[in-house]
Structure 1
Amino acid sequence: MLRNFATICALILSALGISSAQANDTPNAKEKLAVKPGDLIVQQDRNGWSAIKILAVDPWPDGTAAAHCLTYKAVPSKPTVESLTRAAVLVWHAPIDAASFSHGWERIGNQAPSKEELIGFVEYLKLTDFPRYISFTGQDSKEIVRKANEHYKLAYTLGDQGKRTEAIAEYSQPIELFPLFYEAIDNRAFIYMELGKIREALRDFEQSLRVNPNGMAAFFSKGECLMKLGDLKAAKDIFQEGQTRFPEQRATFTKFLEQVRALQKNG
C-alpha cells in the first residue's frame, strides 16, 4: 500500500510539472529535507522554479509521512517568501509523499497557512476524515447532524409529493453538510433514476458505495444504471458479484443477470 502511495505521489508531481527525478539530479541539491506545516519550498527544473507550501504533515506508522501541499504555478526566477504571497496557485491541495522532497528542494521560509490556503485541505478532510474535519474546523458535530436530518426529512417529503427537482436540491444539502450520509446520496440517486438522469444516478451510487461499501441497494442500482446505459459487461459483473456478496437478494441479482445475458445475446 505504501509503495502504491509513493507511485501515486510521483504521478501527482509529474502532473504538476515537477519531476522528482530531476530534483535528485539538481546540481545544487540540498541534504535531506524534512518538511513541516508552513514550510515554503522551491526547486528549479526545466519548467523554471516550482514552489510548494506545506499545509499539514500526516505521519505513517512506518516512519514515512504524507505532506498535504498547496502548489504554485512555475515561474522563471527563484521565488521568495514575499513573492509567493502574490503567486498564482496551481493546485490548492495535493497529498504527496513527504520523501519526495528529500533532495533537490530548498526551504526558503515558513508561514502558517491562511484560512484561504487551507480550503482545499479542509475539503479533503471533509471527504476522507470527517471527525478530523469537525475538530479542525471547530464545528459542532451535533448541530451538523441536526441540520442534515432536517434537510433529509424535507427532501423525503418533497419526493413523496412528486416534487423531484426540489427534492434533489434538498437532498444535496445534507450531503454537503455530512458527506457520509449515504442514505441521502441513495435517495437523490433514486430520484435521478426516476427523472431518467441515469449518469447522475450512477455517479451518486458510486459515491454512496465509497462511503458505505456494503450498501446492497446502491450496489444493485449501480448495476441497473450500467445496464440502462448499455455497459452490459460491467452490469453483468455487478449482478454476478451480487449473487454471492448479498445472498439474501440472490434471486433479484440472478433475475437481472439473466436479463443482461439476454441483451448481450440479442446484440
Structure 2
Amino acid sequence: MTRKFYQSLFLCFLIAGTQLSANAQKQPSVQENSMYAPQGIRIDGKNKEWNNTFQANNKRTNLQYTLCNDDKNLYLAVKCNDLLSSRKIAGAGLSFSVNINGKKDEKESISLTYPALSSSTNSNPGRGGQARGGRGQGGNRMGTKSQPSSKEKDSIQAANIKSLLAQAKEIQIKGLKTSTDSLISMYNELGVKAVASMGEDHVFFYEMAIPLEALGLNQNSKEFAYQLKINGLSERGAGGFGGAGMNFEELMSPTDFWGKYTLARK
C-alpha cells in the first residue's frame, strides 16, 4: 500500500509539472488581452498583487510582464530571472513608451525610463570592485587568486544590482502631457510611480504606474502602441562586468519589443 501511495504521488507531481510546462509554453511573447487592474495596487517593487502570474513572457528581452489599467492609471509589472538583463535595467533603465496613435514609432512616443542614473553612479555600483577582478578573498600569499564559482558570480551581480537600485531616485520622462520636465523625482506630484527590487532569490521585480491623463488617454481612447526597451549600458557602465561572467557586448546592446493595448473597462 505504501508503494502504491508513493507511485500515485509521483504520478500527480509528474502531471502537475507537465501542465505547468505546457502553460509556460502557451504564454504569449506579447500580451494579447486587456486587463483591469487588481484592487489595492501598491507600487513598492514587491510581487504581491500579481500572484507571480504574468500576461506574457518575452524571450527576446527575458521579461515576464503584465500591462493593466483602472479608471485613473496604467500599470506595468515586470519580472526578470536573467541577471544580465536585470543588470542592464538597473544601470541603464527600462524605458516604457506609449504611442497613443497606435504607431510603433519611438520618436513620436511618450516615454518614461526608470531607473535614471548618472554615468558616475552607474560606473561605480558599490561592490562592483569584486566583479572587476581585483584581488579578493580567493587570493593566496603567492598573489594568485582562484576563480569565483558560478554561484559566487551571481551573488556579486545581485549585490551590484541592489546597490544601483538603492541609488535610483529619478525617472526620465519625455513628452508627458502634464509636465515639461525631462527628469523627475521618484517622489513627484505628477502621480508617476516606479520602484524596482532585487530579491534574495536573484529575481528582479519592477513596477510602474502612470496617470492616464499624463499619457493623453481616457476610457474612450482607441488601441495604442507601447514599447518595452531595456537600454544598453555605456562602455563606462559596462566596463569590468564581463569579468564576473557577463557578456560585454550584450550589456551594451539594447533589446526591445512592441505591443498593442486597449484600455480595459470595468
TM range (shorter): under 0.3
TM-score, reference length from structure 2: 0.24
TM-score, reference length from structure 1: 0.24
Question: RCO higher in 1 or 2 (8 Å CA, sep ≥ 6)?
Answer: 2
Determine which structure has the larger helix proportion and give its number: 1
- Greater Rg over alpha carbons, structure: 1
